[in-house]
Amino acid sequence: MSRLTVPTRADVPNGTQGILDGIQKQLGFAPSMFSTIAANPAVLEIVMGLQGSISRLLDAKTRHTIALAVSESNGCGYCLAMHSYVSSELGSMSSDDIELARAGSSTDPRRAAVARFVQKVVDNRGQVADSDIAAVRGAGYSDAEILAIVTIAVVFLLTNYINNVNQTVVDVPATTGQAA
């Protein structure tokens, strides 16, 4: 059972209801994470703003890989379910790609380097070694892209922390190829 109160639809301001409607339209369902965050409309706007902003950084599969690797490192079951669903249903990632991302790897060498790097960033609270930076650079990422990688990881840390604190009940549909 979630630890924070989910406001009723009637308790959510009209502008916030519009945000929730947009999420439902985009995903095909209204995840409880967003309904819970709607208890504080400013927080919902911040989370949605950050998620919208990172959509301009790197390609979608790399962002999905980062989300899965970060969520695995944080042990966020809700975020793993959500990002597995989004990666599979909207991001065209195979179940093998999803499992590899969670393990800090990928069939794509560049994405594998990113997945390993973000797990080190999370596990070491940003205190990575010079060799970790060299490895991601060696995979072809510029310093500007490394900044994007860290930024994306931190945005997913935020939702991981919210859902871990809340113990959000998983309400995400099973992905194609995943047992229900």
> What average pLDDT does the segment 158-170 reach?
96
Indicate the fold that domain 60-165 takes in CATH: AhpD-like (1.20.1290)
Amino acid (1-letter code) at residue 87: S
pLDDT in tens, 101-138: 999 999 999 999 999 999 999 999 999 999 999 999 99
pLDDT of 176: 60
In the 3-class helix/strand/coil scheme, how is the chain assigned residue by residue?
A: CCCCCCCCHHHCCHHHHHHHHHHHHHHCCCCHHHHHHCCCHHHHHHHHHHHHHHCCCCCHHHHHHHHHHHHHHHCCHHHHHHHHHHHHHCCCCCHHHHHHHHCCCCCCHHHHHHHHHHHHHHHCCCCCCHHHHHHHHHCCCCHHHHHHHHHHHHHHHHHHHHHHHHCCCCCCCCCCCCCC
> What average pLDDT does the segment 57-65 reach?
97
Domain ranges for the chain: 9-54, 60-165
Angle between the 77-89 and 60-74 helix axes, to the nearest 10 degrees? 160
Considering the chain, what is the average pLDDT of its residues? 94
pLDDT exceeds cutoff 60 at 180: no
The whole-model pTM stands at: 0.93
> What average pLDDT does the segment 127-155 reach?
98
> What average pLDDT does the segment 17-31 reach?
91
In the CATH hierarchy, which top-level class contains the domain 9-54?
Answer: mainly alpha
Task: Give the separation between CA 57 and CA 146, rounded to whole angstroms.
Answer: 11
